[in-house]
Amino acid sequence: MASMLLILLGATVPLPADLLPDPKISLLPPVNFTVGVAGLAQVLLRWEANPAQELGSAALGYQVKIHAPEEVDYETPKTQSRRAITLHQGLSASVRTILLAGGPDRPASPWVSAALDAPPGEAGPERPGGS
């Protein structure tokens, strides 16, 4: 009976505070966010973790949104991402720091954004005779 009591008591011991994410954690936005062309119909997004961000024990990641003819929204633990996407109209993208674990109410930083202009179009053949 005594050993059973010890097992039950052990099961109710709360986790140490340093293993739980701080519910009031303040997340800072990523820095140096750039969007570039990585190849034919491929975009490369890069950013850096904010150097002022205190990590603690929380696992940080990033939420990325690409605003193009079709919107793409995903999460990643990495600080760069390559995606195949239509580039002929240009696009804009946004990224923010998030906690990887947690529900829909988890904290997130403000968004940072960058844009990629549409590639210049061809002027077309010149017509003889001017105008």
Q: Does 8 reside within a domain?
A: no
What does the pLDDT profile of the chain (131 residues) look like in tens digits? 444 433 333 433 443 444 444 556 789 999 999 999 888 888 999 999 999 998 777 889 999 999 887 889 999 999 999 998 887 788 899 999 999 887 778 889 999 999 988 877 644 445 455 54
CATH of the domain at 73: 2.60.40.10
Q: Does 1 reside within a domain?
A: no
Rounded Cα gap, residues 131 and 117, in angstroms: 28
Q: Does 2 reside within a domain?
A: no
Q: Which helix (H) or strand (E) holds 2?
A: helix 2-11
Q: Does 102 reside within a domain?
A: yes
| Of the candidates 53, 50, 52, 99, the residue with the CA atom closest to the CA atom of residue 77 | 99
Q: Does 36 reside within a domain?
A: yes
User: Please, are residues 81 and 72 in contact by the beta-carbon 8 Å criterion?
Assistant: no
54: domain range? 22-116
Rounded Cα gap, residues 52 and 22, in angstroms: 17
pLDDT on residue 95: 98
| Of the candidates 84, 106, 82, 86, the residue with the CA atom closest to the CA atom of residue 96 | 106
Number of domains in the chain: 1
Q: Does 81 reside within a domain?
A: yes
Q: For 97, which DSSP code? A: E
pTM of the entire predicted model: 0.71
130: left (phi over 0), alpha (psi -120 to 50) or beta: left
Q: Does 130 reside within a domain?
A: no
